[in-house]
Amino acid sequence: MRILHSTILGKGKPLLILHGYFGMSDNWKSLGMQFAKNYEVHLIDQRNHGRSFHSDDFDYELLVEDLYNYIQYHNLQNVILLGHSMGGKVAMLFAVTFPELIAKLIVADISPRAYKPHHQQILEALNEVNFSIHNSRKKVEEVLRIYIKEEGIIQFLLKNVYWKEKGKLDYRFNLQSLTVNNAEVGEALPSFTHFEGDTLFLKGENSNYITTKDVPLISAHFPNAKIVTVKNAGHWLHAENPTQFYSEVVRFLAKKENWHNYS
């Protein structure tokens, strides 16, 4: 059994953080250090990402199984689960599958609905890089800039470029598997699944990943969910407005019996 790689910070109630597509646990280090003041924070690399194992197989059921194995391996109970984007989909599916293991659920800028594949341009750019020729970070960046115009996305992807060996760059993620299985990332949460526990959805003000049309679906799956908007932020709301993101999460986690009065 292969166990996901993680960085564990702090002590207290376990708070597990799941990154998004093409991401890794390192993206959450700054916020993780803040949360670690009060919680045992697990910054997790999901399969085919970061320093975790690579596999040809990649879908949400497998990602949930990986997380279950991780929780059992570390003997964790009553965990707080926070997931962003793809990580949010994993968190939602895990919560409806293993509700007895979850104390509270936090979903960052993703809905339970299906999303059409929309990473083709990024995948095309990444696949155009030939590390035999593009043997410096600058050369890799030049290739990405041909296809991608958003500076934030370019820098986000470049964080995954590392020296695999002397003189040889590579991606930390498993590009081949992510390319083949790209359609899996947009899969919807299965119908008629529910998690009755306290749930917080955080939506980026400038993001269209969660819209007003998603509210009934969120309520159907998560009857005790609240949706809060993070101001001046898009899909990467935790990076674009970490101050409000942190305060909303801490506020949510502090709520107990009067959670339904959260506003």
Point out the residues that are catalytic. 85, 235
Sorted by sequence, the CB contacts under 8 Å of residue 96 that are 6+ apart come out as 189, 190, 193, 194, 195, 221
- Which residue is it, tokens 């001046």? 232
C-alpha–C-alpha distance, residues 30 and 222, integer Å: 29
φ, ψ (nearest 5 deg) of residue 103: -85, -50
C-alpha–C-alpha distance, residues 7 and 50, integer Å: 11
C-alpha–C-alpha distance, residues 26 and 43, integer Å: 8
Both tokens of residue 85? 């984007």
Question: What number of other Cβ atoms are within 10 A of residue 116's Cβ?
Answer: 6
DSSP string, 35-102: HTTTEEEEEEPPTTSTTSPP-S---HHHHHHHHHHHHHHTT--SEEEEEETHHHHHHHHHHHH-GGGE
Helical ranges in the chain per DSSP H: 29-35, 60-73, 86-97, 120-128, 137-147, 151-158, 175-180, 215-221, 237-240, 242-254
